[in-house]
Amino acid sequence: MKQATGRMLITNGQLLDGTGRPAVSNAALLIEDGRIAYAGPAADCPRVGEDTPADDTIRIDAAGGTIMPGLIEAHIHLTYFNVTELQDLDIKYPVEYVTLQSAVNAKTALECGYTSARSGGCLHNIDVWMKKAIEEDMIPGPRLTASGREICGAGGLMDWNPDYRKIGMEGIVFIVNGPDQARTAVRKLVKDGIEWVKTYPTGDAASPDINDHHTLSMTFEEMHAVVATAHNHSLKVTGHCRATAGIKNALTAGYDAIEHGTFMDDECLELLLQRNVPMCPGLGFEKFSVDRGREFGLSQRVIDGHQETLEAGAESCRKVLKAGGTMGLGGDYGFGWTPHGTYAQELTFFVDYVGFSPLDTIRCGTLGGAKMMGRDEELGSLEAGKLADVLVVKGDVLADISLLEKRENLLAVIQGGIVKAGRLAADPAFLGGA
Ligand SMILES: [Zn+2]
């Protein structure tokens, strides 16, 4: 991805650096060649030659608002859109159409202030190629980590097509029976060029009859085979983990991250903390499913399951936060009731429902996401040396985190020092970047 050349100086706002440190009022952020050169009180900012006629520093006035790191979606599904039932995830549209829609979703995510995203699985191998297209500036979108197709045990959550239809699940998931097939699936993913292997250790409230949130969808042996094969090829492994036994299996098998971590008991928490395994709760989805599921035809049993997941998941998040664990935020946007473009309601939900402070929420939504991606050395916070992925937001997001939900509040969405979206992107002064 192209980086800016030259200098940019953002002033007249409070700075939230993403590390969880308190806001710095009247701050300045200095960017040089697409990387952060200084972030802190304006009074201590190196002077950038405002007195010299040749000074070509690009200046942004934050208008008394907030200067913060770009948001990171820690569990995005670029290929999901208008999903109302599980089948919509796979066979509804051909890969050509899904690819086009995914490009639109990537652009939307960037416009919403998400400068990076970690894929939580996708149809075919779209996110691998989407990542390349974004890296090469062919299309706008968040910096991505890719995971391609997922892996689930036969008869598990993702194996929903009845055998009499004689259609497989090749588009979205490898259905495996035993460790050998699990290894085969990972080896295919190795060749596909993915970074994160996404698996399904457990079921979900969405499938109340045979694969609910207390059911296992893979055996420990299958999960262990996935981890051993993936790690041998330097890939990381994560999984959809609701049931307590599934979380435990994943952490014992050596998973590198946990998605959801819903029914987390003390033993799971201990295992999570031992290796500091990051977790993406993806929890807002449960609340929004409870609130709006009926409109979209979800059965009462499914809604009740989401309610149970919501309450247990919120408790797990509070435990992990209190214990000092690492969390990224985001998850499963692209359903009918959680369309792409509404990602930032996850942050509001974590403040209003789960009870996180706005500062902790922003830390999880920025640096936490970068840790989940494995790229926190260069992304996720406003610290000298890191890539300048920055939001300039109208207003005080600590006082009202829901400001981030509205695109019109984003003055600038900056990637590598280049203004890519937000109100200033329409200003000719910013076309082509710094
Ligand atoms: Zn997901």
**Quick check: 232 pLDDT over 70?**
yes
Top-confidence residue, 48 or 225: 225
pLDDT bucket at 430, cuts 50 / 70 / 90: confident
Residue 122 C-alpha to ligand 1 middle, in angstroms? 9
- pTM, two decimal places: 0.96
**Quick check: 27 pLDDT over 60?**
yes
Is residue 18 within 8 A of residue 362, CB to CB? The reply is yes
Instruction: State mean pLDDT over 358-385.
Output: 98
As a whole number of angstroms, the distance between CA 311 and CA 262 comes to 9
Residue 404 C-alpha to ligand 1 middle, in angstroms? 22
Residue 260 C-alpha to ligand 1 middle, in angstroms? 9
pLDDT bucket at 53, cuts 50 / 70 / 90: low
Question: Which structure tokens are listed for 28?
Answer: 């300045």
**Quick check: 434 pLDDT over 50?**
no
Residue 283 C-alpha to ligand 1 middle, in angstroms? 10
Residue 391 C-alpha to ligand 1 middle, in angstroms? 26
pLDDT at 8: 96
Distance from chain centroid for Cα 97: 23
Instruction: State mean pLDDT over 133-137.
Output: 98
Distance from chain centroid for Cα 27: 28
pLDDT bucket at 344, cuts 50 / 70 / 90: very high
**Quick check: 118 pLDDT over 60?**
yes
Judged by average pLDDT, the poorest of 32-36, 44-48, 265-269, 408-412 is 44-48
Residue 332 C-alpha to ligand 1 middle, in angstroms? 5
Percent of the chain with pLDDT over 70: 98
Residue 288 C-alpha to ligand 1 middle, in angstroms? 14
Residue 281 C-alpha to ligand 1 middle, in angstroms? 10
Q: Which residue has the tokens 């977790």?
A: 279
Instruction: State mean pLDDT over 386-391.
Output: 98
CA distances from 363 to 147, 299, 410 (A): 24, 36, 18
Q: What's the pLDDT tens digit per position in 73-104?
A: 999 999 998 888 877 887 788 899 999 999 99
- Geometric angle at alpha carbon 296, from 295 and 300, rounded to 5°: 80
Top-confidence residue, 187 or 172: 187
pLDDT at 134: 98
As a whole number of angstroms, the distance between CA 395 and CA 238 comes to 36
pLDDT at 431: 58
Residue 65 C-alpha to ligand 1 middle, in angstroms? 33
Residue 173 C-alpha to ligand 1 middle, in angstroms? 12
Beta strands 58-69; 390-393: pairing state: antiparallel
Q: What's the pLDDT tens digit per position in 268-325?
A: 999 999 999 999 999 999 999 999 999 999 999 999 999 999 999 999 999 999 999 9
pLDDT at 89: 80
What domains lie within the chain, and their CATH numbers? 7-70+380-430 (2.30.40.10), 76-373 (3.20.20.140)
